[in-house]
Structure 1
């Protein structure tokens, strides 16, 4: 099946150059499509905000392939189709008393798309979602179906690969016993108190997010603490905050019914670790997003640098999260415990681009890395310099795709020689 209507990303800020979206129904059909194509890119849920998924050829989705979810209790893993959404996978795992170690803020994103671009949740002990993968199956440029497992010398470059190696069909993820989380929201914290105690704030729960709209530079609007249900409660008054008496959305005034259960009510990991519920669209789109990563040791200084900027009227909300270091070759968290500085912007290039450049300049002294799938202005040579194993990744991509069938302008700029 082929779709020919105009294709846009989820937020609507990118119109893809592809004329067709191929929708194979089987892996065999996918192999035929890829093998016969001269230029093709895989499209996940469309939750990227730059042209990383764009192509002058065809786009292809695995959404219509078999939605595999096969649990292997003997190895504590699950085999899952790349087009399965995390919310669907999480529900199936929870039904069997199992869990993933962490989730992103949206349960709506697909496993294949999220792992390939460095999607993450939060928590000082939690790595990005790609680090949960222990095996991957993909269709290479020649149409061959190949598998790579943890322990293979090339595995560190094969999962978080920006779509440069092939079209992912299935992944095997590590699972653990299910666990309960309670989510408490604290409001109007004193920013100086937070910055003076930043390690304790960011480590106050299993997963912690800080939100601010930067209208008041002395105040942090919200602290979301997702703590293990049996862990001691954290008292946010130590940072001058007050407990929320009702549910909150990260953006003031937005409908809080789309957010996951708060007010300290314990519930399963799948219903608390994401910020938003699977049954609701988290927002109406019409936005852009940027995210920048610095070493966690610079968290207080980096947040203080943002405090000095004038981000309005472009900014909707800023979020701060943490990610533990990994060894994936082109991961933004490669060998570095990280603090993530996330920005949701209005959908207006003329407002957003200059402010993004201001943010990048303010963070430049902290050896900042951008999110691969979001809006940034950093020069290609500056981005590439952060990845000591980029040459190995290029060689791996060349072995899988010598004609750069999966390539596009983004990869030409930021990855290829």
Structure 2
């Protein structure tokens, strides 16, 4: 028990330094039982608990001033069942590490997206997803969850359980996920190609790009006329892929060939050096190489973070939303500091998670990014204007990104909001896993 708590709790901040905390207690459990012991200690001391992964989320979801619960010690693949087509993985496992381990066995998991260093628990808590209308959130691939709830009980949840769809995307508000069982599928390679897209074509065909390939990303900078589409076509299975040699599938950022959507998956210029070198080189020389084969986990972001605002809007609203976004960003640059901030567009399929993508044809995910070197007061007019546009089109904010919505606005956006609140009441009635930020977005 003495090794469970740090003698001197460290100050904490996320990778982007958009969230900070000075917790009274820092717990570093290595087993589900130690997680339960930490929660019991918090209850006895009257402390609230925030589980934390690798700190890749920009929002202060993980920040806690009372107890912070690091899940980094719960790491690795617990069980791989090729017969059942599942992998059980500890919540503190980085996505890049999981993807590389599965790829070495000819397997992958659907919906893999996010940062290579992001943990499985963090990805589930924030609703991380890849890109494409054939791809749902990672949480939709979960077939079982182990969760330590707000009462310190270790629970095993499956899809038939009442609160499963809340726990698979929980914001860390129902308890601490200690391990998850995910569906697997055969590994595959991505055939990547890029092409320039004119503004008129983007306005005429925007939603149709979602159907162009299994994985699609668009990028544009509103003050300029250059736009680029990145199409990722699935070569399935790996044994049948042909063409250029696939890059190394090692863990970590070395396997990350593509940047995140705000990093544009494109040549975004010197300000966006966080794009991994292989992708920069590919895009700079795309006239010489139109197609490359890459493993699925090339979709994981590498490099330094950006300050990002991200909303998902209905597919039908993509074209008018981009048109209005271009106007408001141009106006913000005219009235304030002219900035060339890239806008990225991805797509996500519907799922049945209470705080996920509502049932339907899927949504377009629009991201505005800014380098952290730019002071927030300089980018604030651009971000405020963009958020106003995306909210006007019924946009759903990304849980791991920055947004200004509170409980009243969010409750109106999610049909399953009342059911999520009921799950919270059942699993954490004392709000042991609460925080000021969660009070803002979820209410009491």
What TM-score bracket applies, with the shorter chain setting the length?
0.7 to 0.9
Residue 344 of structure 2 is matched in structure 1 by 319
Residue 185 of structure 1 is matched in structure 2 by 194
Deviations 1:94-125 (A, max 9, x none): 11111112321422211110111111110011
Distance 2:65 2:180 in 1: 27
Larger relative helix fraction: 2
Mark the CA change 1:85 to 1:205 in structure 2 (over 3 Å): closer, same or farther.
same
Mark the CA change 1:297 to 1:89 in structure 2 (over 3 Å): closer, same or farther.
same
Aligned residues: 391
Distance 1:185 1:15 in 2: 38
8 Å contact 1:259–1:275 — kept in the other structure?
A: no
Distance 1:154 1:315 in 2: 44
**Is 1:412 paired with 2:444?**
no
Residue 369 of structure 2 is matched in structure 1 by 344
Which of the residues 235, 246, 268 maps onto 1:251? 268
**Higher deviation after alignment, 190-199 or 357-366:** 357-366
Which of the residues 232, 235, 239 maps onto 1:229? 235
Residue 199 of structure 1 is matched in structure 2 by 207
Residue 44 of structure 1 is matched in structure 2 by 53
8 Å contact 1:134–1:172 — kept in the other structure?
A: yes
8 Å contact 2:30–2:73 — kept in the other structure?
A: yes
Residue 246 of structure 2 is matched in structure 1 by none
Shift of 1:32: 0.8
Shift of 1:82: 0.5
Residue 34 of structure 1 is matched in structure 2 by 39
Distance 1:109 1:259 in 2: 21
Shift of 1:248: 7.2
Residue 255 of structure 2 is matched in structure 1 by none
Residue 244 of structure 1 is matched in structure 2 by none
Residue 238 of structure 1 is matched in structure 2 by none
**Is 1:300 paired with 2:305?**
no
Distance 1:248 1:306 in 2: 20
8 Å contact 2:74–2:93 — kept in the other structure?
A: no
Which of the residues 320, 324, 329 maps onto 2:354? 329
Mark the CA change 1:195 to 1:259 in structure 2 (over 3 Å): closer, same or farther.
farther
Mark the CA change 1:315 to 1:411 in structure 2 (over 3 Å): closer, same or farther.
farther
Distance 2:391 2:276 in 1: 38
Q: Secondary structure at the match of 1:173?
A: strand
Mark the CA change 1:23 to 1:275 in structure 2 (over 3 Å): closer, same or farther.
closer
Two-structure CA RMSD over aligned residues (Å): 2.4
Shift of 1:407: 0.6
Residue 20 of structure 2 is matched in structure 1 by 15
Q: Secondary structure at the match of 1:171?
A: strand
8 Å contact 1:84–1:111 — kept in the other structure?
A: yes
- TM-score, normalised relative to structure 1: 0.87
**Higher deviation after alignment, 4-13 or 356-365:** 356-365
Shift of 1:5: 2.7
Shift of 1:162: 0.5
- TM-score, normalised relative to structure 2: 0.82
Distance 2:96 2:359 in 1: 29
**Higher deviation after alignment, 291-300 or 365-374:** 365-374
**Is 1:103 paired with 2:108?**
no
Distance 1:268 1:346 in 2: 27
Shift of 1:378: 2.9
Distance 2:58 2:126 in 1: 12
**Higher deviation after alignment, 248-257 or 336-345:** 248-257
Shift of 1:319: 0.8
8 Å contact 2:358–2:415 — kept in the other structure?
A: no
Distance 2:406 2:37 in 1: 37
Mark the CA change 1:315 to 1:48 in structure 2 (over 3 Å): closer, same or farther.
farther
